[in-house]
Structure 1
Amino acid sequence: MSHVVVIGAGQAGASVVARLRSKGFDGKITMIGEEPVPPYQRPPLSKAYLLGDMGAERLYLRPEAFYADNGIDLHVNETVVSIDPAGKKVITGGQTLDYDELVLTTGSIPRRLPAAIGGALDGVFTVRTLADVDAMAPAFKEGASVLIVGGGYIGLEAAAVAAKLGLKATLVEMSERILQRVASPQTSDYFRKLHSDHGVDIREGVGLGRLTGDTHVTAAELTDGTTLPVDFVIVGVGITPATSLAEGAGLEIENGIKTDTHGRTSDAHIWAAGDCASFPHGGAQMRLESVGNAIDQAEVVADNIMGEARDYIAKPWFWSDQYDCKLQIAGLSTGYDHVVTRQGEGDSVSFWYYQGDRLLALDAMNDPRSYMVGKRLIESGKSPDPDAIADPDTNLKALLKA
């Protein structure tokens, strides 16, 4: 009987095992996760869960019984020590498992502040796991001062929660503007105003010099010479793919664990999906950090384990919730040379990214109609006239038929 072992019990891992069973795979499935809980959603951690609007069990991707009911041997709170590709074995702290096919869905690791600048002090947190958020939640007390390092989506979502709970939040971003790496100046301007209107002190072009305190952080020295008293710090300065197991197994690494269009690594019996994996796109190895990518890539891998020979074709989409604003993103804006603004009803607005005459992506704020139409246009390779997009009288749905 064929045995598929999945290392990593996050969104991608859960998607692989569920897809295998739904497609009729009748072999043995084992999934191994380091955390002490079943696979769960990560996006609500920095939003609804931190706010207290969602309990832990509602985070779970499937009821705990799903795994046993579907013959999936789920090992939680277990660490894989190494992989032996030649012997097709996985070695954990307590056992050795033989596999026929192995899937790596090891995810990513948050970047941390160096200990030399105070990163090891108590009260310095990252936002990646359920345990991370449980550890920081008691610090979210009305009137407390929090410093958020990093002006990407994780940092901004944490700032929104802090402001809603009545904390004094300061966010520092070393780049000249928040969201500089991932969004247009227009989108940065929108979220800067949104946060400022809610009392968040956003400081751009300013980095963190060091954190100070005996054992617990008490102050932050910024690169502009400012010193801020802080009760705790949230670090949101990006993630790196978790590739150590793959490297130890001798797999090719290129912007993550390198896979081909089918999701197969440099070893014929080892596959990878999710944040840890890169795939061919535009002559390079691309890696997408999103729920959509984790699900879609994982399902392609499962199908290919079943012998379907499907290519993975990325359809990037992302979202972020901040205050009462829902941001929805479709496509990849890399290489854009101009942005078209479409003003919707009320506070809704969307920014459409073009490279020449080609539509690449859009950011839609409280504008689900623009998002849905834009996503379909991008996926079908259609690029409407920018003037038509900017005209609020244009019927967007009609553009799909053009």
Structure 2
Amino acid sequence: MTTRRHVVVVGASQAGCACTNALRGLGFDGDITMVGAEPHPPYTRPPLSKGVLVGSEPDDSVFLPVPGDAEVLTGIGAVGLDRDKNLVELTTGDKLRYDGLVIASGARARLLGDPGQGEITLRGLDDAVALRKSLAGARDVVVAGGGFLGMELASSAAALGKSVTVVDVVTPLLSRLGPALSALCLEAAADHGVRVRVTGTGLQVGFTDGRPSRLTSADGAFSVDADLAVTAVGDVPNTEWLHDTGLPLENGVVTDEACRVAPGIVAAGDVTSVRRDGGHVRTPHWSNALSQAKIAAAALLGREPERPARGHVPFFWTEAFGLKIRLAGHLPPAGEPTVLEGSLAGRRALLVWPGTAAAVNFPAPAPKLTKLAQQLPTH
């Protein structure tokens, strides 16, 4: 086991917090310092687009437990890394020395236009609180992006009584859920009064008195006006502080199957990417952050992780328009599903594809879905 005395975790995120807890769980008794750019203690993000946004869950319900002996520096970001001297350079001008480093600096919302224009996004807790206030004064809402986040936002806005339109360049959720489940989600969205427009071209945000209020297709073929326009078109990994360090940066921080980046440096969560199919792929989801955090902690201490990242079965979930969908395996699922129980028409089903399993409003625990995803369906 590698001997380390001070681990610095850059990113007071889900992954950073989970890695800190995993280090303690593995018996690491040295110092741990977490560095978080946001002014809040570590928190989980999935409720932000759901219960927190509609006001059914209190804001402080998202905060995560952190080992009491870990130092947590909030409101302080990392701006650089000196690998020769093992120093993390902070926004305050201070430098933190480490002999083990966890990169968990996460990602930020991707924008359609230039930074500073005032696009409204949902990435952090402050975003959710601000958007909730903005929604209170809006009647019409248009959402750019029909991924998991965009559809969850649309569902929450509809639940608040807003008239909602979702606009995307492709059919919402098709590239994530496949044809069967995406069609089910669109049917449920329509039942909740949500309109969906597919442009086939890029989108631009328009403003009224500094407020985002319009989405226009790049070819000018159509425009959707609303009291409020929200951008939900993915995220960008926070790697700027690692430029010129010599670390592998391709669509994030490139890790091996044990989340190792370089000697004494590991990474976990939304900031990471792995080599796959000739490219570098990110999996910015809650379950991936948790599994990578455990693997990264073990690797940093010189231990072999119980389950290498390559052998991990990814797990995803989303809730929108009365549908609670949980999936294990590869996305999107290929072809038509085999229905094991229930029915898609009844919006309650247990489904399998080769390499993927899903539960729609169905009480199947994650271990069962994971097991099903590792089996070929029987016909």
Same fold (TM over 0.5): yes
In the TM superposition, residue 82 of structure 1 has moved relative to its aligned partner by 0.7
Separation in 2, partners of 1:234, 1:76: 27
Matching of residue 352 in structure 1 with residue 352 in structure 2:
yes
Q: How does 1:99-178 map to 2 (within 5 A)?
A: 99-115=98-114, 120-122=116-118, 124-141=119-136, 144-175=139-170, 177-178=171-172
Is 2:29 the counterpart of 1:26? yes
- Are 1:239 and 2:238 an aligned pair? no
Do the aligned residues in 1 keep the contact of 2:9 with 2:103 (CA within 8 Å)?
A: yes
- How many Å separate the matches in 1 of 2:121 and 2:128? 8
**How many Å apart are 1:376 and its aligned residue?**
1.1
Q: Write the mapping of 1:243-282 to structure 2, written as runs, cut at 5 A.
A: 243-265=239-261, 267-279=262-274
User: Which residue of the partner structure matches residue 331 of structure 1?
Assistant: 329
Contiguous gaps of at least 5 residues in structure 1: 354-358, 388-402
* 1:215 aligns to 2:210 (yes or no): yes
Choose the corresponding residue for 2:195, options 201, 209, 227. 201
Task: Pick the aligned partner of 1:84 from 82, 85, 101.
Answer: 82
Deviation at 1:155, TM superposition (A): 0.6
Structure 1 residues 371 and 197: CA distance shift in structure 2, 3 A: farther
Post-superposition Cα deviations, 1:115-167, rounded to whole Å, max 9, x if no partner, equal 4xxx7554x31111011112211121376111100111101000001111001
Q: Which of 74, 77, 86 is the aligned partner of 2:72?
A: 74
Higher RCO (CA < 8 A, seq sep 6+)? 2
Report whether the alignment pairs 1:182 with 2:185: no
2:338 and 2:351 in contact (8 A); partners too:
yes
> Is the counterpart of residue 383 in structure 1 residue 376 in structure 2?
yes
Q: Which amino acid aligns with 2:288?
A: N
Contact 2:327 2:369 in 1 (8 A): no
SS in structure 2 at match of 1:184? helix
Tell me which residue corresponds to 1:392: none
Alignment of 1:29-44 (within 5 A): 29-44=32-47
**What is the Cα deviation at residue 54 of structure 1?**
1.2
Q: How many angstroms apart in 2 are the aligned matches of 1:48 and 1:210?
A: 27
> Distance in 2 between the 1:22 and 1:243 partners?
28
Moved more, 288-297 or 45-54: 288-297
Q: For residue 17 of structure 1, what is the aligned residue in structure 2?
A: 20
Question: CA 1:26/1:374 → structure 2, altered by over 3 Å: closer, same or farther?
Answer: closer
Look at both structures and tell me which one has the larger radius of gyration over its CA atoms.
Answer: 1
Q: Secondary structure at the match of 1:368?
A: coil
* 5+ long unaligned stretches in structure 2: none
Query: Alpha-carbon deviations, 1:308-362, whole Å to 9, x = none?
Result: 1223332200101113321101100358355434561643034433xxxxx2113
SS of residue matched to 1:54: coil
Give 3-state SS (helix, strand or coil) of 1:29's partner.
strand
Aligned residues: 368
- Out of 6, 29, 34, which is 1:3 matched to? 6
8 Å contact from structure 2 (residues 45, 124) kept in 1:
yes
- Compared CA separation, residues 239 and 225, structure 1 to 2 (3 A): same
Contact kept, 8 Å, 2:178 with 2:334, in 1: the verdict is no
Q: What's the Cα RMSD here?
A: 2.3
Alignment partners' CA distance in 2, 1:59 and 1:371: 21
Deviates more, 1:10-19 or 1:328-337: 328-337
> Is the 1:142–1:165 Cα contact (8 Å) retained in structure 2?
no
1:235 aligned partner, one-letter code: T
